[in-house]
Amino acid sequence: MTNKLIFIPNGIMIPDIYIMTSMAQSLIDDKKNKVTIITCGGKNNYACSKNIYAIKEICRTCILQRNKAISQLKGKFKLQEINTEINYKLTFQLNNIKQVKYENLDLGLGAYSSYTNFTRDSDLKGRLAKKSIKLLLNTSISIYHYFKDHLKNKKYDEIVTFNSRMSERRPLFKYSQMYKLNISNYEKLTTERFYNFKNKFSQDRIFIKKEIYTFLKKKKNLNLDKINKFYINKYHGIRDDINSEIYSSKQRLNFFPTNWDNSLKNIVFFTASDDEYQSFGKEFNPSFLGNQKNIIRKTCDLLKYKKNYFLWIRIHPRWKNEKWFDKNFYNLILKKYKNVGVIYPDEKISSYSIAIKAYNVICYWSLLITELAYWKKQKIISLSKNDYSEIGIAVTPKSLNDYKQLIFNKPKKDKKVKQKTLEWAYFFLNGGSKIKYFKGSFEKGYTFRGIKFKFNFISFYYFIIGKVKEKIINSIN
């Protein structure tokens, strides 16, 4: 008999609750397993990535939905709730929250990840930022102490979790890492294919590189021609098996800015969602330039007196209608620099069209890197070290001088680069496995054994009340 622990912290995170319920059922099906499901008990002042203000009604909805999901499981299992509540007086300043550790675990970064992923307030300017992060941090500490005590007294052959970056999941993941417990950290590769990253985050570039090459070695008569369809469908905004939202579907191919000039050496800088790259840790933040705004300013300065160069800043479409989008910053950039243009989130100008025509392209960590490397047959400048730079379809500057050299030197065409983009996509489209009982998509919705966990009257009532409160708080923040 093998002991298995599966952590299902909430019931309203979609598609997580369907994924985790499906995983739990698969573990229960194997009669050799003794399965324990641990979930959140929703104590007072518990905050998580789905409820950063610890609103009671959202907690109640979450518990009701979680209970509904777990009630659909068939077979024997043990269910335990985390009810530990610690109001730890951890002192911190907002400007150093990402460096805050508790018993050597980076729980501060987890709290930052949850807060910014929900609000997009990556600079922590919100009036309630510190209060929310304190709630998230205290909840993380409470969850950590629960698992610390539980895992001292109970031994498991495998601990199963999903997407462990956020504040409620990070304590278990980091504790398991520290004490070398056998943890399986799953993350999606495509809409219905999932991969076990084990004791690594899904952003771990060394792990991904190794897994890609190991996967490819096992395949005989590898036919990469079919993978071309993935890039073609993405280009035309038809289909994306990896991301739920296809931003290119809202853009017009071959639609350029009115003052685009092909006679100039156009540099295109694709911005990232600040909260994402900052919450991934130091490796995703160029040490020689600091945050994204500093990088943009420095890039503008590098090109300022280059009359034959023009810099285009393409702001991520996700920032459309976001409260914390700093439009004033970009307006000031336009006033200060004559050879800089800004493409705002709601503009239908094609990212593909301007990037393919560009002299050089600058990105953070984005699927766009492999797409543009595929179409341009050359390495893309990536500001962070990642799986793309590891396998040779992106190049990451090591210093400011290195960055300058990369910008002003057009990369050479190389057929091997396109080959590597096909290998990358082959792994992500065919690697990992499907989870039994789980089906669905962002557009059509998700199911467990064909069941959708719909709200009943009570859960719907709590949910609406909670969301109204949340909206009011967001307007204050």
| pLDDT value of position 283 | 67
Residue 222 token pair: 């590898």
Closest among 67, 196, 73, 88 to 141, alpha carbons compared: 88
Q: Is residue 271 part of a domain?
A: yes
Q: For residue range 374-421, what is the model confidence (pLDDT) as tens digits?
A: 999 999 999 988 999 999 999 999 999 999 999 999 899 999 999 999
Q: For residue range 132-174, what is the model confidence (pLDDT) as tens digits?
A: 999 999 999 999 999 999 999 899 999 999 999 999 999 999 9
pLDDT band with cut points at 50, 70 and 90 for residue 477: confident
More confident residue, 126 or 254: 126
In a shared domain, residues 32 and 177: yes
For residues 370 and 185, what is the distance between their CA atoms, to the nearest angstrom?
25
Q: For residue range 38-73, what is the model confidence (pLDDT) as tens digits?
A: 999 998 899 999 999 999 999 999 999 999 999 999
Strand 194-196 to 183-188 pairing:
antiparallel
Omega before 15 within 30 of 0, i.e. cis: yes
CA atoms within 13 A on the CB side of 356: 14
In a shared domain, residues 286 and 386: yes
Any idea what the CATH number is for the domain that residue 359 is in? 3.40.50.2000
Q: CB of 45 within 8 A of CB of 139?
A: yes
Q: CB of 435 within 8 A of CB of 194?
A: yes
In a shared domain, residues 230 and 151: no
In a shared domain, residues 425 and 449: no
In a shared domain, residues 405 and 263: yes
Q: CB of 107 within 8 A of CB of 142?
A: no
| pLDDT value of position 287 | 72
Percent of the chain with pLDDT over 70: 97
Residue 353 token pair: 């069209």
Any idea what the CATH number is for the domain that residue 45 is in? 3.40.50
Residue 448 is inside which H or E element, if any? strand 445-448
Helix axes 129-153, 170-178, angle to 10 degrees: 50
Q: Is residue 208 part of a domain?
A: no
Q: Is residue 216 part of a domain?
A: no
In a shared domain, residues 297 and 421: yes
pLDDT band with cut points at 50, 70 and 90 for residue 89: confident
For residues 171 and 174, what is the distance between their CA atoms, to the nearest angstrom?
5
In a shared domain, residues 176 and 261: no
In a shared domain, residues 148 and 276: no
In a shared domain, residues 240 and 389: yes
Residue 6 has pLDDT above 70, yes or no: yes
Q: Is residue 219 part of a domain?
A: no
Q: For residue range 216-226, what is the model confidence (pLDDT) as tens digits?
A: 988 877 778 88
In a shared domain, residues 395 and 332: yes
CA atoms within 13 A on the CB side of 97: 27
Region of poorest pLDDT, from 107-111, 148-152, 233-237, 240-244: 240-244
In a shared domain, residues 184 and 253: no
Q: Is residue 237 part of a domain?
A: yes
Q: Is residue 200 part of a domain?
A: no
Residue 188 has pLDDT above 80, yes or no: yes
Domains contained in the chain, number? 2
In a shared domain, residues 89 and 116: yes
- Find the domain containing 389 and state its range: 225-430
Give the mean pLDDT of 73-101.
90
Of 430, 448, 463, which residue is a domain's last? 430
Q: Is residue 416 part of a domain?
A: yes
| pLDDT value of position 240 | 83
Q: Is residue 207 part of a domain?
A: no
